[in-house]
Structure 1
């Protein structure tokens, strides 16, 4: 049997990771397989115990709701994942499991053109308090952003905020952003604003994220980590109002590249022809 890896979560049917990794394996001519596994929270420990003894299993990607729950089940955790407090990739070698987090770097990838510029002020509004929100917050913090963390449970956002300088991080109730406000943004030159949806809201089968765009600074980049559907209500409204918009597929591909290297010890193809073919496959 050839080597294989997989993505685990609950739910998991929506995951596009098998399409991405299978495409890269075939493109490179590597013998291997990539699957999805529906793992409920109560079965997480037994699932990982069972996989440890399989010499063909290279590891797995981890999605909702397991990114934090897997931490005590691992033998080692990469320092970046340790700082973030969440794991999205588990690498198996010789029966030992090590956790990594590729979400932060994957998230930052499409922001590089803006991040290469100099700004007097960088501010990020991050909606959500799960593993993805944690990684995104750490990624943006490393690039000099002041953080505004918003969640339906403020205590969950406050837990993330505790890892940063309190002078440059603020916590608010997500409901605050659903109410219109009358605010004069004045001059926005010299600043970079990013608004991120790191909640499942807007995902297929979920209600839309309820936010009023009066809270969005002019020119703010609207970034939705949801990738199913690709055009969420949030991004559709953002584009209609003239905001730069980034869809979740770009973050997914960015973090998948890092995970592919970890799982299969190979460099995924990144030539324009392969990228175009993969994106077409993912949006078909």
Structure 2
């Protein structure tokens, strides 16, 4: 992210250590959170842009730019880009537009509208695909989803729920009810303490590999459920980052935190349980906010 001149802003929050780390990444290493929404029928671009603007007014964290060590509301809603019809590969969930980096001072959120975008057509043969995108440096997947829900609330004629909180992840961690406070950060760490369940990495440059998989049913804690067998796949115990959203834990004492980057992904060893339910009980509990 590049800084912007000092100016007056309504919404602002201090950058957490994780957000500062993302600000220093090269564009090719930028991490983007993306949701694909497929449907039948058509979507008017101007109506969608109006819904995006109204939802973003209620969730000012979607309009962030960097001002020194702060993230501030730049006042410009995320753009809606209308893409060429049929340019979205529904089989691979892929398009060149999905590789565009989102970084301040440019937009950190955006919506892509693909007319005839590869979804299941209706009786008239029309389909549409929306891709909601956000820089992982300012939000996480759950924060993006809650803003998406507000966009669809406006499209249905309802009022957005909104997320006005300026709570940063560092402030959130300091509010955790931990006896003795947070553990000290490890220092002078060298080598790999845990083996990779994926084996040795290839020497050639890595790229993004898109695959589409469908799993019937409703699956709570799907990320953690997929993390568990991945870390148990090898012959030795492995460890890996497992995201955990703490919005529910602090919602009653710090309302309005829905749209912020409130997910922590500590690297934990896989619990050597015989099945996922018992592993979830042993490995997925965590501290709560005061």
Structure-1-length-normalised TM-score: 0.23
Give 1 or 2: higher strand fraction: 1
Give 1 or 2: higher helix fraction: 1
**Quick check: which has more Rg, 1 or 2?**
2
Structure-2-length-normalised TM-score: 0.23
Higher relative contact order (CA 8 A, sep 6+): 2
